[in-house]
Amino acid sequence: MEGCPPFPRFPPVPVSPVPPVPVSKNVGPGFCKRIRAKACRATSSEIFRCDDFRAETSAGIVANKTLRSVLNDRMRWPRNKSANESARSTRRVDWIWNSAILGAAAILVAWQLFVPPVLSVANNGDFQKLAGAVCLGPDPRIGNEFFDYANLHWRFSTEACANWPFRTSAEIVLHAAIGLDRLFRLKPEFDLRWMGALYAILFLANIAWAQKLLRPVRPATSRILQIAFLLIICNAVYIPMFNTFYFDTMALVMMIGALAGVAALLMNGQVTITTLLITSGALTLLAASKSQHAPLAVLCLPAFWITRGRAFPAPWARVLGSVLIVAGVAVSTTTIPPDYAGATTFDTLFYRILPAVPDPKAYLGETRIPSTYPWERAIGKHSFQPDSPNFTSQQQIAFGHVFGLTDLELFFLRHPDRAWFMMRMDLDEGSLDRVRMKVGEKEYKLGNYERSTGKPPQTLSQFFTLWPALKGRLLGGHPRRYLIYILSLIVLAWLFAPRVPGMLWYLMVITTMLVVAFAVVMLDGVDTGRHLRVFNYLTDLIACGIAALAGERLLGRFESRQNTGPLLGHTNLMRVWNSRFDEEIGVRRDCPRFPCCAIPAVHATRGNSILKFLNYFPIPPAHSRSFTPYPAGKEFDALIYWDDSAGGLNRPRTVF
């Protein structure tokens, strides 16, 4: 067949014609229909029973024995030593490259977290939600310097105890950091850099996990992706968050492993139980980090159940992974204080929306807010101001009963112009990356430095911020440009993504996560810029992927380097194919395989059914990118596949 390399050393196999035999009476259309539904999961015994040749025919048995002998002789042929040496060299280069990227990430992280001047993020008042549970408070000599300066030194005191009902996966890191601080305590206070060290370890572990899942991807594509990750993610926009008590930090750290694991579950030709459990663990920590991020983990649940006939862990493992994620969601959502909803909706309505409308009373008349409510005094106020009518917890709970989150969503549906107004304000603050809130033309930020450094209040570090600086220059303060940028990322991701099984599902998950991450922030009217940190993180991760996909378009199409893998790991083997069987039973051609060439093969192995023997052939790498699809309507019993990486050459195998 044109495009297929010759096989001069492959010995001919004399096979006598096999006459067709009537199908067994135990096999009928209903049985074959069930086999068709199973697709790749059909067992060999079920396949043989549904074949139109009887396994008991003497000719089929003779052909089977002959082919066994041929393959056994083929497997005894001497291996290509140069191919093995090239395989070892490829693995060595990959190991060196991944180690260099991981080492560079570790250096960038350590430089920001531990080398003076140490970077952190100032407290906006949320620190006590986590630190107050263990009676940690700021050093009395420094005080609680909100917004302007970071504070790395904290002390245990009864005055700092706060009974916040919030529960978060960040508590795991906090208690581990307290244990390390007590074990290696050099000063009487708690050093927040212990939290940074633990988050850094988790961050690097997630990178290593993603590198492992990237092994099947073409080397150049993987390297572009990793370099883009260093430039876009490992800078002062995200890394200083490790030295804080913010709940969002756990979401930033676990997002990498979660997204890489979901890609493996959806696109891996063979999903292992290790991949499933690690992915479920990352999603559980993400879901339990903060109620705002719990929906993002829920959107990834279908990845545990979309099997598409692939080799997948047992149902009990999928149930266990799903239950863990649901438990993480329950931890973060069921521990929300009762006054939380009333505070967020009040801020959105009275602080953001109503000051910009000509007739606030008309808008309030559409809600369940009583006419006796002091709305005139409330307009322009948020729940954190002492003179606000929604300052106390009791007032916030009462307001939440008359105007909750559902009421706010219905309000946006009735007034799409107000929804666009709120969306434009959020886009404006989100485009500025590290601006927590913008009031008029004034930008309120959270400083990255301690007061002892002598920096002005609310000073932001510019360490390694090449990408944020470029994005800020082009998009900062321009909400419409930022919206076009976000939509462009989504469109480019869909256009550049390779058409491989599972990629469509993955794109749907990522796109929905972006929409939900932004929509949730629209329900809060204060600190929306900081709340959009995870949304911006998602867009930056997508930008990394688009850079890799664009590079792949320049370098050539995606190619697999292993038998199975998370992105493009489809089987590159010789596989015997029976078009008659495919026509009758409907074996899916998007099962884990990547056709390269079709060659005529013997009608063997119990008649004209699928051969159970799979074997590599020593095909030169020069032919590895040729592709000749098998012609429609012509029977071919064998499809030849190979892996163009040196490790895939000359490695004979027999799969049963």
| pLDDT tens, position by position, 488-540 | 999 999 999 988 889 999 999 999 999 999 999 999 888 888 899 999 999 99
Candidates 499, 500, 498, 501; CA nearest to 39 is: 501
Q: How many CB atoms lie within 10 A of CB 609?
A: 25
Specify the pLDDT at position 415.
94
- Is 50 exceeded by the pLDDT of residue 476? yes
Within a domain: 274: yes
* Residues 351-373, mean pLDDT to the nearest whole number: 92
Band of residue 327 on the pLDDT scale cut at 50, 70, 90? very high
Q: Are residues 459 and 483 in the same domain?
A: yes
Question: What pLDDT digit, counting tens, does each position of 128-175 carry?
Answer: 999 999 999 987 777 667 889 999 999 998 888 988 889 999 999 999
pLDDT band with cut points at 50, 70 and 90 for residue 184: confident
Give domain status of residue 628, yes or no.
yes
Average pLDDT over residues 227-242: 97
The residue behind tokens 């040196």 is 646
Q: What is the mean pLDDT of residues 212-222?
A: 86
Same domain, 537 and 594: no
Q: What is the rounded CA–CA span in Å between residue 523 and residue 375?
A: 19
The confidence band for 217, taking pLDDT boundaries of 50, 70 and 90, is confident
Which residue stretches of 115-247 are H helix?
127-131, 170-183, 193-213, 219-233
> Is 375 contained in some domain?
no
Q: Identify the band that residue 612 occupies on the pLDDT scale cut at 50, 70 and 90.
A: very low
* Same domain, yes or no: 556 and 575: no
> Domain range spanning residue 544?
114-336+444-515+533-563
pLDDT > 90 fraction of the chain, expressed in percent and rounded: 55
Res. 196 pLDDT band, cuts 50 70 90:
very high
Alpha-carbon distance of 169 to 483, in angstroms, equals 32
* Count of CB atoms situated within 10 Å of the CB of 315: 11
4's tokens: 């297929």
For the ranges 21-35, 131-145, 302-316, 351-365, the lowest mean pLDDT is seen at 21-35
Show Cβ contacts of residue 103 under 8 Å, excluding neighbours closer than 6 positions.
none
Q: Does residue 40 sit in the same domain as residue 119?
A: no
207 vs 39: which has the higher pLDDT? 207
Q: What is the dihedral of CA 398, 401, 406, 412, to 10 degrees?
A: -50
Q: Which of 507, 542, 563 is the last residue of a domain?
A: 563
Residue that finishes a domain, picked among 563, 582, 601 = 563
Tell me, yes or no, whether 165 and 263 share the same domain. Answer: yes
Cis peptide before 117 (omega within 30 of 0): yes
- Confirm whether 341 is domain-assigned: no
Task: Supply the pLDDT for residue 114.
Answer: 96
pLDDT at 79: 42
Instruction: List, in order, residues 6 or more apart from 420 with CB less than 8 Å away.
Output: none
Residue 599 has pLDDT above 50, yes or no: no
Determine the pLDDT at residue 621.
Answer: 33
The Cα–Cα gap between 72 and 66 comes to 10
Confidence of residue 551 (pLDDT cuts 50, 70, 90): confident
Q: Give the pLDDT score at 35.
A: 52
Q: What is the pLDDT of residue 15?
A: 42
100 in any annotated domain: no
Query: Is residue 599 situated within a structural domain?
Result: yes
Higher pLDDT: 50 or 644? It is 50
**Which among 274-283, 569-578, 599-608 has the top mean pLDDT?**
274-283
Cα distance between residue 84 and residue 649, in whole Å: 8
Considering the domain architecture, whether residues 149 and 41 belong to the same structural domain is answered as: no
* Selected residue with higher pLDDT from 394 and 26: 394
Specify whether 203 is located in the same domain as 126.
yes
What's the pLDDT score for residue 440?
Answer: 64
Angle ∠(464,468,472) on CA atoms, nearest 5: 140
Within this chain, do residues 556 and 576 fall inside the same structural domain, yes or no?
no
Assigned domain for 393 exists: no
Pair 509, 299: CB distance under 8 Å = yes
Residue 210 pLDDT greater than 90, yes or no:
yes
Residue 2: pLDDT band (50, 70, 90) is: very low
Q: What is the mean pLDDT of the chain?
A: 77
Q: Give how far Cα 220 sits from Cα of 84, 384, 558, Å.
A: 21, 51, 10
449 and 492: one domain? yes
Considering 33-42, 51-60, 411-420, 619-628, the range whose residues carry the highest mean pLDDT is 411-420
pLDDT at 619: 31
Residues linked to residue 435 through DSSP beta bridges, in sequence order: 445
Number of domains in the chain: 2
- For the chain, state the CA radius of gyration: 30
φ, ψ for residue 445, nearest 5 deg = -120, 170
Residues 179 and 270 reside in one and the same domain: yes
Q: Are residues 481 and 578 in the same domain?
A: no
Q: For a pLDDT cut of 70, what percent of the chain falls above it? A: 70
Would you list the DSSP string of 614-637?
A: -B-----GGGTT---PPPTT---S
With a cut of 50, say whether residue 543 has pLDDT above it: yes
Whole-model pTM: value is 0.76
**In-domain check, residue 392:** no
Instruction: Say whether both 301 and 273 belong to one domain.
Output: yes
As a whole number of angstroms, the distance between CA 215 and CA 565 comes to 7
For residue 267, the cross-strand partners are none
